[in-house]
Structure 1
Amino acid sequence: MKLDVVLIIIVAIIFGIGLDGYHCKMVQFIFGDSLSDVGNNKYLSKSLAQASLPWYGIDLGNGLPNGRFCNGRTVADIIGDNMGLPRPPAFLDPSLSEDDILENGVNYASGGGGILNETGSYFIQRFSLYKQIELFQGTQELIRSKIGKEEAEKFFQGARYVVALGSNDFINNYLMPLYSDSWTFNDETFIDYLVGTLQEQLKLLHSLGARQLMVFGLGPMGCIPLQRVLTTSGNCQERTNKLAISFNKASSKVVNDLGKQLPNSSYRFGDAYDVVNNVISNPSEFGFENADSPCCSFGKIRPALTCIPASTLCKDRSKYVFWDEYHPSDKANELIANELIKKFGFKRVDQTEAPSPSPTPDA
């Protein structure tokens, strides 16, 4: 064997580069709101949508706040773990490098963000879906400069994509009179506007290489503690739930149609409404004792939108469906994720990583 060929093989081994090009690992790119945020808002210093105070993160890692709006893992964490996919780091993580992106993907999700640019504006700083897609385009430029245009195209077309937004477009936009959308539209025209915008965003993602994409629908957002406490009865807000159902129906059709129209695409819609509604409506069947109030609350002063150091925690976090006024607990996320895995038949992409264990909450 000639010396130059030997040297090429040695270099390829050292740098992990196959002789037929860069070896692309399957990763995820996640676009979402606070239900999927793993730390982006933590680095948005002016954002009012924060999970940077105790007791967030109490049941994950070192027990300190990590940017997740939960006591533990997100649904995306759990589904990805069970599929054998690496957890994508937050885009704004200062340690993020091109190698990290190639190894783990990226999570662009931002608490308070929505499909519409105007959604959540009173949070001051947050990433809308259009902004998240813009950041993804910047990521693509970095990877192209790292491994070349052709290999980058293979990498991005081989990745998995998750889009999970929409609840803020209602709760922190349309249903609040301080937003112009609340009096510019009615229920039907607002959903048309919202879903039409989502359609254009999904087309844009396809043009950027997204071929395997899952869009998650909305759960019964009228049953979150924040919505219940705004009623005199403490029951779910039926109008809000009907909006979620209508959004799911319209966006499901859009996603299915795009899956047929866009070349080489596998676009799926994940309607989680029934799964989440079943847990909230029948908590005892799933091992929960409370499905209408948050585990982390500031006594009788409600709604307190986030956990704070002075908040009181419930005695057993595994018995509460909701962690705070907005977000499910780790245990609820685990149950929801497992139900979605069964419902949609998610398969593992490798067998090298064991799914993450459920945290054992301490009172």
Structure 2
Amino acid sequence: MAAPLVLALVTAAIIAMAADHTSATPPSLVTFIFGDSLTEVGNNNYLQYSLARSDFPFYGIDYKNGKPTGRFSNGRTIGDIISEKLGIPSPPPYLSLNPNDDVILKGVNYASGGAGILNDTGLYFIQRMSFDDQIDYFENTTKVIKRKIGERAGNNLLNEAIYFIGMGSNDYINNFLQPFLPDGQQYTPDEFLDLLRLKLAEQFTRLYLLGARKMIFHGLGPLGCIPSQRAKSTSNQCLHQVNEWVLQFNSKIQKMIKVLNLKLKHVQLTFADTYQDVLDLVDNPTKYGFKVSNTSCCRVDTSVGGLCLSNAHVCRNRKEYVFWDAFHPSDAANEVLADRFFSKLFSNLNGSAASAPNQG
């Protein structure tokens, strides 16, 4: 199934770049993005009481106009860079749109900082859009699309669209690994993973029933190596146990995706495994032109959340740092990772990330 999916994606991208899109005509390539702070482009800015925000001055310092946009980075997200490579605009945040805005025909970003697979993940951020919330908003979008262009054309648009999904990091970082939250006390690691797997299968199925067919799930990276987790080590090393749990998550979700590909008619679910790419970037930063991978460019206080607040000190040589703050890659690191992600996913070779989910 990998070759048909890759061919469809690349063909659609070529058509999209050549097409003359108007606001009333759906584009040839439509992307819907679901995720957390790694792919958010500003939804949480519209949540009045959300504590998961990145509207502080240093965020966006290397983005257009040098102003914060709601991206948890000094510049672009991986999603932004993938959109650039596909020759399409990065989809706007859902909450920034008028419900009847024609731009929804070109794609929407539902990602929300603090979001998780589980609805109680990130609860202490007060407001955030969980994966279930994001799917609720997507369901609203499907209804508007069908009202605009008709049931048949709407279904075709939804079936042909590409769905990028990145979820699960917060379920560990801002849930299971937090000693003051109940899930870490209530469940063993295996039980928690089963909970995530079952919930995610339910969510994929719901997206499928709403019209999604070409879904790409971005597996988790080595969370034990992000600065917020390293800070828990007396020697500032990666937390091996956390990385082991991440590898188990990735393995289980890959197997679950294989089952769904057999169970759901015409679905093309792909697991994009970039764990080793991220780990190599962290372990061998100089190979990619970086100098620092064990701490963040923005000098953050991990005891109060690890975000780059207004009074923080920011490094000048931002292109030399893999991490921007305690959780998120820098713009330069996102570019490297997006290049690797894109080349694997859109390669005709049978690499692990490009392989169909029902293969080895």
- Give the TM-score category using the shorter length: 0.7 to 0.9
For residues 23 and 332 of structure 1, the distance between their equivalents in structure 2, rounded to whole angstroms, comes to 32
| Maintained 8 Å contact 1:115/1:166 | yes
Q: Which residue of 2 aligns with 1:205?
A: 207
Mean alpha-carbon deviation: is it higher for 108-117 or for 181-190? 181-190
The residue correspondences of 1:245-284 to structure 2 (distance < 5 A) are 245-284=247-286
Q: Which residue of 2 aligns with 1:144?
A: 146
Larger Rg: 1
For residues 23 and 113 of structure 2, the distance between their equivalents in structure 1, rounded to whole angstroms, comes to 37
| Maintained 8 Å contact 2:39/2:71 | yes
Q: Which residue of 2 aligns with 1:93?
A: 96
Q: TM-score, normalised by structure 1?
A: 0.87
**Structure 1 pair 163/23, CA: closer, same or farther in 2 (3 Å)?**
closer
How well do the aligned residues superpose, as a CA RMSD in angstroms?
Answer: 1.9
Q: Percent identity?
A: 43
Q: Residue 25 of structure 1: CA displacement?
A: 2.9
- Tell me which of 52, 57, 77 is aligned to 2:55: 52
- Tell me which of 11, 16, 32 is aligned to 1:29: 32
Could you list the per-position Cα deviations for residues 317-363 of structure 1 after superposition, in whole angstroms to 9, with x for gaps in the alignment?
0000000000000000000110111222269xxxxxxxxxxxxxxxx
Could you list the per-position Cα deviations for residues 90-120 of structure 1 after superposition, in whole angstroms to 9, with x for gaps in the alignment?
0011457431111x30000000000000000
For residues 347 and 101 of structure 2, the distance between their equivalents in structure 1, rounded to whole angstroms, comes to 28
Gaps of 5+ in 1: 1-14, 348-363
SS at match of 1:215: strand
**Structure 1 pair 62/74, CA: closer, same or farther in 2 (3 Å)?**
same
The residue correspondences of 1:1-363 to structure 2 (distance < 5 A) are 25-94=28-97, 97-102=100-105, 104-298=106-300, 304-345=305-346
Q: TM-score, normalised by structure 2?
A: 0.87
Q: How many residues align?
A: 328
| Maintained 8 Å contact 2:228/2:302 | no
Q: Residue 254 of structure 1: CA displacement?
A: 1.0
Letter in 1 for 2:92: P
Q: Residue 180 of structure 1: CA displacement?
A: 1.4
Gaps of 5+ in 2: 1-21, 349-360
For residues 327 and 274 of structure 2, the distance between their equivalents in structure 1, rounded to whole angstroms, comes to 16
Q: Residue 85 of structure 1: CA displacement?
A: 3.2
| Maintained 8 Å contact 2:23/2:102 | no
Q: Residue 184 of structure 1: CA displacement?
A: 1.3
For residues 23 and 280 of structure 1, the distance between their equivalents in structure 2, rounded to whole angstroms, comes to 40
**Structure 1 pair 23/57, CA: closer, same or farther in 2 (3 Å)?**
closer
SS at match of 2:94: coil
